[in-house]
A = this chain, B = another copy of it.
Amino acid sequence: MSKSYHHGDLRNALIVAAAQLIEESGSPDFAISDAAKRAGVSAAAPYRHFKDRDDLLNAVSELCFIGLAEVTEATRKNHPEGSRECIIALSNVYLDYVARHSAFYNLMWCAGKHSLAEPGTEGDQRPGFYAFVGAVQDWCQKHALAGCDPLDLAVKLWAMAHGLAVLKINGQIAMFLPAADVDDMLASSANSFLDGIEKHHETG
């Protein structure tokens, strides 16, 4: 029989269903009961696998972070170590990922909504970022910029990509610069920034 009393993989089915509903509606305000229906179970079943709504949302969020880590790490491998190109590529991949998953933006980043997973735990959100840190570290070493902190630099570049992503998602870029290519903006932002860093180390 195709439908047994026990689902078998309901937890994951619910996460997928929730993700689909979020993507389809463009907002995280779906009904648990709809996710349950889509997974073919009753409205109460989800509570066997998730404490409450936020718990399910967190699981979806983790999925997103895993996806982000994957593309980020893959990108780093495909670019020369220590190259500025690698840093820019990572920034753009980040921007694209965030923009393409804009419906999940609130889940992933919005203030205090969902608890950040603790470092070292399954949902640790840092792996994706550490590809970034590594690339910046390589670049610093290659360019003999011993004085600068790669972590600090990485966070600044990250903020740059993130800021553009948010403004893009919210339509602010389109409002002020209708013809702009956000990828280009990010690349030139990062380039100017890195130029500035290099300049500082040449003259200072």
Chain A residues near B (Cβ < 8 Å): 26-27, 102-103, 105-106, 109-113, 116, 119, 126, 129, 151-152, 155-156, 158-164, 166-167, 169-173, 175-177, 180, 185, 188-189, 191-197, 199-200
Contacts and interface: CB of A to CB of B under 8 A. Distances in A.
Given A110-B110, A199-B199, A200-B195, A155 B170 contact: no
A155 B185 contact: yes
Number of copies: 2
Nearest to A185: B156
B167 A166 contact: no
Nearest to A27: B112
A10 to B, nearest CB: 27
Contacts of A126: 175-176
22 contacts: A27-B112, A105-B110, A106-B106, A106-B110, A109-B166, A110-B170, A112-B170, A116-B175, A119-B175, A126-B175, A126-B176, A152-B177, A155-B180, A156-B192, A159-B163, A160-B163, A162-B163, A162-B166, A166-B166, A193-B193, A194-B196, A199-B199
